[in-house]
Amino acid sequence: MDEDDPTDLTAIRRRFLEHIGTGAVRVTQHAQQEMAEEAFAYDDVVHALAAGEIIENYPEHRRGACCLFSGITPLGRPVHVVCTTTKAVLILITIYEPKPPKWVTPTQRRIPQ
């Protein structure tokens, strides 16, 4: 698949690692605020991204292709990161710890009743 294909999860993951390796990462003000509120350090989030997995892909999102990434910090804390998938830099949009009632596990959403 093409390198810019927003549905190619392998290519997306490869781009994530390239961006992280070169420092081509931008954190939105919203994500910075969430990191502060949830006490996540930037290095811990980057570590989780490097070792984590894409659990939801949104190639047709109205604001541009993005995905939900799930990872574990070096201290074993789960973290979710919504980030872009086709930009020249990796933009971290939202960062939070997945918790009930919305999440059953770090990778499984609760089904609405």
10-35 residue pLDDT tens: 889 899 899 999 999 999 999 999 99
Mean residue pLDDT of the chain comes to 90
Task: Report the DSSP beta bridge partners of residue 57.
Answer: 67
Assess if residue 111 is contained within a domain: no
Q: CATH number for the domain including 42?
A: 3.30.2310
Return d(Cα 49, Cα 1) in angstroms, integer.
Answer: 22
Assess if residue 71 is contained within a domain: yes
Residue 103 pLDDT: 92
Return d(Cα 18, Cα 50) in angstroms, integer.
Answer: 10
Give the domain range for residue 37.
9-105
- Split into its structural domains, the chain has a count of 1
Looking at the predicted structure, is the pLDDT value of residue 113 above 50?
yes
> What angle in degrees, to the nearest 10, is found between the helix axes of 9-22 and 42-51?
140
The top-scoring range by mean pLDDT among 37-41, 47-51, 98-102 is 37-41
